[in-house]
Each structure stands twice: as C-alpha cells, then as structure tokens.
Amino acid sequence: MKGTTRARRRTDWVAAGGAIALVLLAATSAHAEGRGDVRVVSAVVNGGANVTIGTTKKVTFPIAITVRDNSGVKGLTSVSTFNRSNGYGFFDWTGTTCRKKTSTTSVCTATMTVDPAWIRASDDIDSNKVAGLWTVNATVKANDGDYWISDSIAQYKVKRASRLTTDAAPEPVAKGAKLTITGKLSRANWETLKYQGFTGQVVKLQYRKAGAAHYSTVKTVKTGSSGQLSTKMTVTSAGSWRWYFPGTTTTARIVSAGDAVALK
C-alpha cells in the first residue's frame, strides 16, 4: 500500500514541475562534454553553508556559478542537484540571473526551491536517506553558441532540521542543591513531515554564570530512546543552562534557548 501511495505522489510531482525527471536523468546519464571553450570556473552553493530543511516551510537557496568564454556568457540551460550516493533529488530550479563581471566572465545564480511536502514524492526509498552529501551539474552556454555540460561542479550537504529544548528545575534553587536539567533532541522526518526524537546522540550541557558573556561545556549526555536528555548538577551560583548538539552529516546543529536559574 505504501508503494502505491508513493507512486501516485511521484506522478503528481512530475506534473507539478518535472524536476524529478531532470534530477534523475542527471544522476544516471552523467557526463562532461560539449563544444568550444566555454567552461564553469567555480560554483558555490548557498554561500558555502549547508542547506537545512524542516517539515513545513519552503526552502530556497542560490547556486552561484562562474562561467567563462572568449565570446562572453549567454547563461545556463540546465541545473540539477542530487544526492551523491543514491542519485535522488527533490529541488526545483526556479530561476536564474546572470551578472557580467568582465567581457568573458559572468556569474549566473540559479535559484533552487523545495517544499518539504514534495520530498516523499521524489524517491522510492526512505526519504530521510536522501540527506547527506549532494552535488551539482549544470549546462552552460556562450554567446557564440559554445556549450558545456559540467558534472559535479560543487558539493554541499543537505541536512534534516533539528530541535532542542532545555528545562532546569527546581527554580529558584538553593546553593549547593541539585538541579535537574532535562531536554529533548528531535529532527525532521521527511517521510512523516513531523519531528521525531533523535536517539543515541552525544549532546553537550553548557552553563553561563550570571553576568558572564559566554557559555562553557560542563558535561556531555547521550540522548535516550525518544531523544530525551536528563542530568543532575550541583548549583554553586545563579546562571543559565542550555544544551548544544553539534550535528551530524545528515542532521543540522542546534543550540537550545538558555534557561536562567536564580538562587533562593
């Protein structure tokens, strides 16, 4: 039944924009060839930052591609991006602008967009496996008709968004007493479009004394079966507590809001 539902959604996806066909074609028929001397000089995805996707909000990011040809650059004729290990992708190429730098070189910026609701329709595996290392292909064209199909012009990471909470109790607390700091680490599930607990992850407990400028790590704790966190600390002064998760290859880093605790 699940396979039938996914197949139906895949049809809707192709009808909506055709991006799935574009991406899978790029993944399975990869090559680097063309005509003339037009070339991609460099490419930068999302300003060098990871692309993080949650469960509800559309995500849009740029791919800035620097192109050079002796006749000048006409633009991009295709852009595709997909997971390096399994060839799946879900971003839609929604527009391009080109800025001329010199008579021979231009920076053409492709805009890529995804709605999380599209993701499950873009593959026939667990969609969460599409997080990780991604690559970019593009076809560029010059004013004199030269063109070049370029493979793997940039690599970047697509990550599942994460959430992290902190609660310290009791508040206020007596000096020398035990304080219990709890929390929960969860991440976006692209199959269900909900956040679910992230199990077995090492999370840092951080503390900032009242009046201090920065937090410091005081302990590490591993998340439980539902992503829960809990530990006890002896209180010596008023201050704020928070959890910090450094992230993984497929899941975004996150810092919780601090919980300030006063002394009795």
Rounded average pLDDT per 10-residue block, the chain, 264 residues? 35 33 37 86 98 98 98 97 97 97 98 97 96 98 96 97 98 96 98 98 98 98 97 97 98 98 96
For residue 32, the model assigns a pLDDT of 62
Q: In the prediction, which pLDDT does 251 show?
A: 98
CB 113 within 8 A of CB 58: yes
Structure tokens at 75: 């633009």
- Structure token digits, residue 111: 């805009």
pLDDT of residue 33: 84
Q: pTM of this prediction?
A: 0.86
Spatial separation of the C-alpha atoms in residues 166 and 259, rounded to whole Å: 7
Q: Which residues partner with 186 through β-bridges? A: 163, 197
Rounded distance between C-alpha atoms, residue 202 and residue 209, angstroms: 23
What is the C-alpha separation between 47 and 41, in angstroms, rounded?
A: 16
pLDDT score of 5: 35
* One-letter amino acid of 125: I
Q: Which pLDDT value is given to residue 31? A: 53
- Cα–Cα distance measured from residue 28 to residue 23, given in angstroms and rounded to the nearest whole number: 9
Three-class SS of residue 89?
A: coil
Answer yes or no: are the C-beta atoms of 255 and 163 closer than 8 Å: no
Task: Tell me how far apart the alpha carbons of residues 136 and 23 are, in angstroms, rounded to a whole number.
Answer: 10
CB within 8 Å of 80: residues ≥ 6 apart? 22, 23, 25, 26, 27, 89, 93, 136, 137, 138
